């Protein structure tokens, strides 16, 4: 028999910080068992209803998601994708290196996301998207894709007689994506805006790459127009505290709102634009946004704090895997933690998901070091020598934590990046600047 105490000593902290700081939801593989359904449930239901309505009227809408740091905005976007991917296609769009390339950045990230396979599916969002085209309403996908390339293009041009930019080349590239494994990677690279050479363009039968903001905007428009025959596309803009800054030091959110207004003004159809921002960031930058662009926000959705029952449920979800292995069975679903600690640290009966998980991490770290929980006195205070904020700053601990974080990030990037040509010139320059700044080299030009 293995006691809960021994299991905690032998395993990684179930509240390790690397497990609750999500980013791109297509690169994360969260444990669904750790979700607590009641948290932010009303917002999830609201987004569900919005997607359903867009599926009916194809009218693009924009919503702002705001919340304090640690409220769970990025996690909520991932949850929306997991639970609603059968009703919409989801694209994760992180911070961009240069606002002059924002349309190209948005197109690239959208196409990158469409290549991923949703949970429970065997095919990518892109193939599911293609299968929903009107040309398939009267024939099977197999017969459609095995037909001649010219017939394929003509069928789609007939289905979309107006509003498609560079239709012959665009539909031809879609044909190669759907039918030719040898050309699929090349077609995918063209669609997301890679700088292909003349021979590669010739193989795809296209004249030039998507190398301008105007072309990227029109290709994104093509995707939206075709999506009206299938499912809406949700563009999730997240982690915006890292976007470029204006000369006055404020974030260049105006560029994003320019893009959003253009999506509406040019009647790009069948999109749901979700803009996720820290509440303080939004408050500090809102006055710099043009009023006409603010009017394009249909509604602001605020992520609220969670109550202590929900906080305890978060703890229980994290500890469950250890509890299932423990003998004897723990007397409480959150053992060795207790609700007293939630009452002590959050006297207002409200907290944020990240703060809850961080408290759990500190308590379990203490438990792993001392073999017991710190003493909580009757007056709600703790002994100074039992403080849970004591950090193990030994070189071994620092290196171990760094190694965990490094391995996680390296594996995620390794899966995503297969060749340097996947990045645009601004993205490569941005990454080089980040490396030089990390090395503390002076006079890094922005």
Domain residue spans of the chain: 4-21+306-391, 41-302, 402-438
Which run of H or of E encompasses 31?
none
Q: Are 301 and 65 in contact (CB under 8 A)?
A: yes
pLDDT for the residue 269: 86
Closest to 320 measured CA to CA, from 33, 37, 38, 72: 33
Residue bearing tokens 């990046």: 417
For the whole model, what pTM was predicted? 0.83
- CA 371, distance to chain mean position in Å, is 38
pLDDT for the residue 10: 86
Closest to 364 measured CA to CA, from 315, 310, 412, 415: 315
pLDDT for the residue 355: 94
How long is the chain? 446
pLDDT for the residue 385: 44
Per-residue pLDDT of the chain (446 residues; tens, 9 = 90+): 589 999 998 888 899 877 666 788 888 776 665 678 889 999 999 999 999 999 999 999 999 999 999 999 999 999 999 999 999 999 999 999 899 999 999 999 999 998 888 888 888 888 887 777 665 555 555 555 555 788 888 888 888 888 889 999 999 998 888 888 899 889 999 999 998 999 999 999 999 999 999 999 999 988 888 777 778 999 999 999 989 999 988 999 999 999 999 999 988 888 999 999 999 999 999 999 999 999 999 999 999 999 999 999 999 999 999 999 999 999 899 999 999 999 999 999 999 999 999 999 999 999 988 888 888 765 555 554 456 665 555 566 667 666 766 776 677 666 666 656 556 666 666 567 666 766 667 655 55
- CA 259, distance to chain mean position in Å, is 19
Domain covering 41-302: architecture:
3-Layer(aba) Sandwich (3.40)
Q: Are 342 and 308 in contact (CB under 8 A)?
A: yes
Provide the greatest CA pair distance for the chain: 80
Q: Where are the alpha helices (DSSP H) in 326-394?
A: 339-345, 353-370
Burial per residue of 25-53, b for 16 or more beta-carbon CB atoms within 10 angstroms, e otherwise: bbebeeeeebbbeebbeebbeebeebbee
Other CB atoms within 10 Å distance of the CB of residue 60: 23
pLDDT for the residue 153: 84
Which run of H or of E encompasses 225?
helix 213-227
Q: Report the SS3 class of residue 42.
A: helix
């Amino acid at each position: 028999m293995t006691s809960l105490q021994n299991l905690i000593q032998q395993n990684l902290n179930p509240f390790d910080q690397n497990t609750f700081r999500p980013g791109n939801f297509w690169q994360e593989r969260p444990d669904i068992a750790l979700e607590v359904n009641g948290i932010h449930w009303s917002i999830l239901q609201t987004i569900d209803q919005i997607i359903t309505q867009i599926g009916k009227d194809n009218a693009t809408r924009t919503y702002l998601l705001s919340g304090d740091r640690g409220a769970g905005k990025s996690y909520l976007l991932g949850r929306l994708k997991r639970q609603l991917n059968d009703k919409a296609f989801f694209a994760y769009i992180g911070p961009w290196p240069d606002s002059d390339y924002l349309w190209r950045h948005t197109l690239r990230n959208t196409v990158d996301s469409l290549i991923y396979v949703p949970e429970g599916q065997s095919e990518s969002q892109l193939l599911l998207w293609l299968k929903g085209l009107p040309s398939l309403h009267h024939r099977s996908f197999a017969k459609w894709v095995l037909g001649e390339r010219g017939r394929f293009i003509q069928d789609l041009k007939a289905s979309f007689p107006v509003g498609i930019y560079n239709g012959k080349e665009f539909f031809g590239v879609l044909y190669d994506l759907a039918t030719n494994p040898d050309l699929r990677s090349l077609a995918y690279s063209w669609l997301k805006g890679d700088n292909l050479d003349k021979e590669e363009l010739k193989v795809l039968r296209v004249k030039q790459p998507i190398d301008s903001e105007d072309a990227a905007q029109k290709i994104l428009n093509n995707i939206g127009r075709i999506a009206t025959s299938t499912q809406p596309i949700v563009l999730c803009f997240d982690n915006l505290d890292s976007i470029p800054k204006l000369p006055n030091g404020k974030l260049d959110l105006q560029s994003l709102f320019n893009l959003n207004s253009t999506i509406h003004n040019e009647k790009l159809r069948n999109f749901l634009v979700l803009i996720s921002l820290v509440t303080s960031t939004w408050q500090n930058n809102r006055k710099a946004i043009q009023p006409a662009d603010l009017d394009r926000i249909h509604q602001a959705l605020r992520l609220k704090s969670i109550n202590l029952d929900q906080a305890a449920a978060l703890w229980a979800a994290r500890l469950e895997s250890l509890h299932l292995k423990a003998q004897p069975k723990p007397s409480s679903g959150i053992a060795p933690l207790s609700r007293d600690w939630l009452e002590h640290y959050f006297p207002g009966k409200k907290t944020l998901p990240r703060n809850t998980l961080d408290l759990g991490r500190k308590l379990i770290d203490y438990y792993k070091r001392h073999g017991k929980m710190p003493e909580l006195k009757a007056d709600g205070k703790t002994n100074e020598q039992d403080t849970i904020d004591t950090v193990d700053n030994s070189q071994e601990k620092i290196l171990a934590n760094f190694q965990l974080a490094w391995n996680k990030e390296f594996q995620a990037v390794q899966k995503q990046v297969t060749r340097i040509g996947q990045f645009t010139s601004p993205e490569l320059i941005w990454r080089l600047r980040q490396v030089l700044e990390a090395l503390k080299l002076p006079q890094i030009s922005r």
